[in-house]
């Protein structure tokens, strides 16, 4: 459990430090090219990992509540099975998934109260509205509990599909913008799938 706790803490810390830096130094939708194939681009996500969303403000609050139950379930699974599944595959997979889930949940729960600006839901227009300027972490708040938006920043504009390909022609190969927490969940999930027997044993 000690190794899992250390991994969770470090991933959560790195996730939040990168988010706070981007949120307080970039304008919304501002991008900086690091390499031709990689950019830091600040977007806010009111939904799930990799920008998926549904249901406006009510859907966003429902997702925040579901995240709480999901994290509780993952935490219970780790606590119950860590003594018998005492291998690095289990530890790294569960720690990365748990840390990533906590990182994005923290944004949803508290960012609306920590920062002075962020995406807000316009009920009349039925859409999320942006804002001007750079946010400050002054605890003045732009939304209430459960209504904060997740900060994303890693963007890989690798290439566009050739125009002659049906349906996807001319579109970006990978257009998603994500964060450290999303990356941790993805890597942890990949470990769990590739090494299912070692990660889950006979618990599933």
Catalytic residue, candidates 107, 138, 152, 202: 152
| 171 domain-assigned | no
pLDDT of residue 53: 64
Tokens of 104: 């994005």
| 146 domain-assigned | yes
| 162 domain-assigned | no
Chain segment 156-178, per-residue pLDDT in tens: 999 899 999 998 888 988 889 99
With contact defined as beta carbons under 8 Å apart, do 179 and 93 qualify?
Answer: no
Q: How many domains does the chain have?
A: 1
| 111 domain-assigned | yes
202 is catalytic: no
Quick check: 51 pLDDT over 70? no
| 48 domain-assigned | yes
| 18 domain-assigned | yes
Q: Give this prediction's pTM.
A: 0.90
| 31 domain-assigned | no
pLDDT of residue 60: 82
| Domain that includes residue 70, residue range | 2-25+41-122+141-152+179-200
Tell me the pLDDT band of 142, cut-offs 50, 70 and 90.
very high
Cα gap 47→173, rounded to integer Å: 22
- In the chain, what percentage of residues exceed pLDDT 90? 67
| 135 domain-assigned | no
Find tokens 């990978």 and name the residue: 174
Tokens of 44: 């806010």
Catalytic residue, candidates 15, 138, 163, 182: 182
All residues at 6 or more sequence positions from 123 whose CB lies less than 8 Å from its CB, including other chains: 56, 57
152 is catalytic: yes
pLDDT of residue 61: 82
Cα radius of gyration (the chain): 18
pLDDT of residue 37: 93
Mean pLDDT in residue range 3-10: 95
Chain segment 81-140, per-residue pLDDT in tens: 888 888 999 999 999 999 999 999 999 999 999 999 999 999 888 889 999 999 999 999
């Amino acid at each position: 459990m000690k190794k899992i706790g250390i991994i969770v803490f470090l991933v959560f810390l790195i996730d939040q430090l990168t988010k706070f830096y981007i949120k307080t130094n970039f304008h919304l939708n501002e991008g900086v090219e690091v390499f031709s194939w990689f950019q830091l681009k600040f977007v806010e996500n009111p939904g799930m990992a990799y920008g998926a969303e549904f249901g406006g403000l009510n859907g966003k609050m429902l997702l925040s509540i579901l995240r709480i139950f999901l994290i509780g379930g993952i935490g219970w699974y780790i606590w119950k099975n860590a003594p018998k599944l005492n291998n690095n595959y289990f530890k790294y997979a569960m720690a990365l998934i748990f840390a990533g889930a906590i990182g994005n949940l923290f944004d949803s729960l508290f960012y609306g109260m920590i920062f002075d600006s962020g995406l807000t839901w316009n009920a009349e227009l039925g859409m999320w509205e942006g804002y001007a300027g750079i946010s400050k972490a002054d605890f003045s708040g732009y939304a209430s509990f459960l209504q904060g938006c997740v900060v994303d920043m890693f963007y890989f504009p690798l290439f566009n599909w050739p125009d002659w390909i049906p349906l996807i022609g001319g579109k970006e190969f990978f257009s998603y913008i994500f964060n450290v927490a999303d990356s941790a969940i993805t890597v942890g999930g990949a470990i769990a799938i590739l090494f299912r027997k070692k990660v889950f044993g006979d618990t599933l």
